[in-house]
């Protein structure tokens, strides 16, 4: 029989660790023996099988998804635009600086409360995920632009390469790792902050509201089942988005037919 590879071994170890954690959880829940304090993983699994029957289940998922994804995309686009502007016009970098530092350092909870005064609760998660994403994307892209290759700039200058081609052949390949790392970090953060905003603002028809209700009614199995769903959607959407982004940015790397 063939020996498992090191990668397979790693996966086996990880699966083992998950199984061990679940066992620990199961034993702890059985010991505590309180459905309010801690339910067993089996109870959560059972609830996951039936939770889709809850009224507005799919619409809640869709509501939260498009608000957080919308905020993420807005932060992504504006972060890139502002970084390009700040790189082109240095005084703008100074002008943007207090805004970006404030956004980064003010706690998310404070922003949520402030925004509750200014915005309708329905748009809260868009704005919060936008705020989480914007400074990270801006900073990463600006760093990438600043570390631009002088030699390649000179090459483009002497050959009078058009701005579009410069973008395609020089700038995008250079910025690719900066953008991908920023998106990898912010995609998960946007979900966490967006759902936190929904739990505090409780917009009707959102997953945050579902979590809030589960907590109110002390339905711990519902609370954990919704948490599992949020984590699953967050991970899936992050993977899909990064896959699409890599494809888009990597398109120019593909082989060209002579």
Binding site for another protein (CB under 8 A): 151-152, 154-155, 157-161, 165, 169-170, 173, 252-253, 255-258
- Cβ proximity to another protein: between 102 and 149 the closer is 149
Assigned token pair, 202: 């409780």
Task: Please give the distance of CA 237 from its chain centroid, rounded to a whole number.
Answer: 8
- Cβ proximity to another protein: between 73 and 172 the closer is 172
DSSP 121-166: GGGHHHHHHHHHHHHHHHHHHHHHHHT--HHHHHHHHHTT--HHHI
The owner of tokens 């250079």 is 174
- By CB neighbour count within 10 A (0-12 exposed, 13-18 middle, 19+ buried), where does 46 fall? middle
Minimum Å gap between C-beta 255 and another protein is 4
- Cβ proximity to another protein: between 13 and 251 the closer is 251
Assigned token pair, 50: 């039936």
Minimum Å gap between C-beta 148 and another protein is 13
- Cβ proximity to another protein: between 176 and 215 the closer is 176
Minimum Å gap between C-beta 9 and another protein is 31
Minimum Å gap between C-beta 143 and another protein is 20
């Amino acid at each position: 029989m063939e020996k498992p590879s090191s990668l397979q071994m790693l996966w086996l170890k990880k699966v083992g660790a998950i199984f061990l954690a679940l066992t620990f959880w199961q034993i702890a829940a059985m010991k505590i023996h309180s459905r309010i304090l801690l339910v067993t993983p089996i109870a959560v699994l059972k609830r996951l099988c039936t939770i889709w029957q809850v009224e507005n289940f799919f619409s809640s998922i869709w509501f939260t998804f498009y608000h957080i994804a919308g905020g993420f995309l807005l932060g992504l686009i504006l972060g890139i635009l502002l970084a390009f502007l700040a790189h082109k016009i240095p005084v703008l970098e100074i002008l943007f600086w207090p805004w970006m530092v404030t956004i980064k350092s003010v706690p998310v909870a404070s922003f949520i409360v402030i925004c509750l005064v200014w915005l309708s609760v329905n748009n809260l998660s868009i704005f919060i995920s936008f705020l989480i994403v914007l400074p990270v994307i801006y900073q990463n892209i600006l760093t990438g632009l600043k570390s631009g290759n002088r030699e390649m700039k000179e090459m483009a200058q002497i050959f009078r390469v058009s701005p579009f081609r410069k973008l395609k052949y020089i700038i995008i390949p250079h910025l690719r790792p900066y953008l991908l790392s920023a998106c990898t970090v912010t995609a998960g953060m946007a979900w966490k902050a967006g759902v936190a905003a929904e739990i505090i603002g409780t917009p009707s028809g959102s997953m945050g509201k579902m979590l809030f209700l589960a907590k109110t009614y002390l339905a711990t199995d519902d609370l954990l089942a919704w948490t599992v769903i949020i984590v699953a959607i967050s991970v899936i959407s992050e993977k899909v988005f990064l896959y699409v982004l890599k494809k888009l940015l990597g398109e120019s790397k593909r082989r060209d037919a002579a």
